[in-house]
Amino acid sequence: MTMEYLSVEQANLYLGLKKSFLYSLVEAGAIPHYKIGRLIRFKKDDIDRWMEDHRVESVSPDRKAKQILKTVNSPHLNIDKLVKKTVAEVKENYYTPHQGKPDRIKGLRKEVGNGTF
């Protein structure tokens, strides 16, 4: 039985992650690793299990629509709450700090009295 240990460079190639990101995961203790002095090593089996733990199932738009329609057919449905919740989810998933806030429009100028800018 051989245990394969990977260096940072090997783990970088194996996972397809940047070395700097891999180091940040190690620093945060977010990825299983071994530290011997200044050397960092990863056990391949641990890395594979860690990746499986971070697997995200995608939901197709059709499936999501069916889930929404099931709630729409509910007699206790509040349409306003559903719309607000859906808009909030979309904003949360789409707008990130580097994209800016959704209420900011670049290039917005004040309108003068005759309707021109």
pLDDT digits (tens, 9 = 90+) for 47-89: 999 999 988 777 677 777 777 777 666 666 677 777 888 888 8
Helix (H) or strand (E) holding 15: helix 8-15
Burial of 116 (0-12, 13-18, 19+ CB in 10 A): exposed
- The residues spanned by each domain of the chain are 5-53, 61-96
pTM of the model: 0.48
What secondary structure does DSSP assign to 18-72, as a single string?
-HHHHHHHHHHT-S--EEETTEEEEEHHHHHHHHHHT------HHHHHHHHHHHH
Burial of 50 (0-12, 13-18, 19+ CB in 10 A): middle
CATH number for region 5-53? 3.90.105
Other CB atoms within 10 A of residue 6 CB = 19
The whole-number pLDDT of residue 88 equals: 83
The whole-number pLDDT of residue 14 equals: 94
pLDDT category of residue 2 using cuts at 50, 70 and 90: low
Residue 41 pLDDT greater than 60, yes or no? yes
The whole-number pLDDT of residue 111 equals: 55
- d(CA 67, CA 9) in angstroms, rounded, equals 44
